[in-house]
Structure 1
Amino acid sequence: MRFARHLGVASAAALTLTALLATPVKAAEPKGIGLELNKVATVNGGCLLTFVASNATGAALAAAGFEFVLFSKDGVVDRMTVFDFGALPEGKTVVRQFQIAGAPCEGFGSILVNGPSGCGAAAAAPLCSAPLTASSRTAVSFGR
């Protein structure tokens, strides 16, 4: 009888342990700023770039600008520019568009995010220190 009771306790402990191990662990939400190149379209002889930006820094950003490097299809730097994404509220996703005049999208092979712009002594700390992820839904490669 005593053996059966211990066996029952051991079985209950094993079932509890199995349930705990089988419980899915929720992945941590990504922290930082996410930029996605969502669409490229040649419009009026220039390239219209559409980005989806998300802010998971833990703080609203009153201003967010990033330096971009646009490369031709053969890997040569075509131009460097800063895109001003404006305010990025915490926990919110926003869409921003930028027009590159006189440069059809077909000429671009990749876009690189050099990083946040204006990260001097008086810059917004959450923008300048936040991890940045870049992704693309287009044929144009987009990274950091």
Structure 2
Amino acid sequence: MRKLELVAAAMLTVTALSAGWARAEEPARGLALELNRTAATDGGCLLTFVALNRSAEALDKAAYEFVLFNSDGLVDQMTVFDFGSLPAGKTVVRQFQLAGLACEAIGSILVNGAAGCGGASAAPPACTVSLETASRTAVPFMQ
């Protein structure tokens, strides 16, 4: 009887590992936004984002409401960044100028939600279903 229990436990372990591997091999979906660079300019802070639409659907519009926090964690301002159209499977770079705001004054940036998003299909668009954020700067970028 003990041998049968060991075989059953081994089969369950293999099944669980196989399921985990299958999930790991699934291609990522949705939209990935990366805060790639902040640069001080005469007019304020220039933010550079890299956006990757990993879905099979082109997006005619992808706009997000962002909340900028100061270094004390207080809300400094809320704004909408319109990333424009995002072709399916394509990486694009978008820049946004924050007039009168020094880059050093930005403590973190939060994606508060989609302010406008649309594609050709009636299914929920990629920018509202699964969004991933990352930052290559000292400014945390989160959702």
> How far apart are 1:31 and its partner, in Å?
0.5
Amino acid at match of 2:67: V
Give the distance between the partners of 2:90 and 2:136, measured in 1 at CA.
20
Tell which deviates more after alignment, 66-75 or 125-134: 125-134
Q: Equivalent residue for 2:27? A: 29
Amino acid at match of 1:52: V
Q: Equivalent residue for 1:48? A: 46
- Based on CA coordinates, which of the two structures has the bigger radius of gyration? 1
Any idea what the Cα deviations from partners look like across 1:42-90, whole Å, max 9, x if unmatched? 1114010000000012200011101100000000000000000000000
Asked whether the equivalents of residues 72 and 109 of structure 1 are also in contact (C-alpha less than 8 Å), the reply is yes
Q: State the aligned residue count.
A: 119
Match of 1:108 among 103, 106, 110: 106
**CA RMSD, 1 decimal:** 1.8
> How far apart are 1:129 and its partner, in Å?
3.5
Asked whether the equivalents of residues 57 and 130 of structure 1 are also in contact (C-alpha less than 8 Å), the reply is no
Q: Equivalent residue for 1:75? A: 73
| Dislocated runs of 4+, deviation >6 Å | none
Structure 1 residues 128 and 51: CA distance shift in structure 2, 3 A: closer
Gaps of 5+ in 2: 1-17
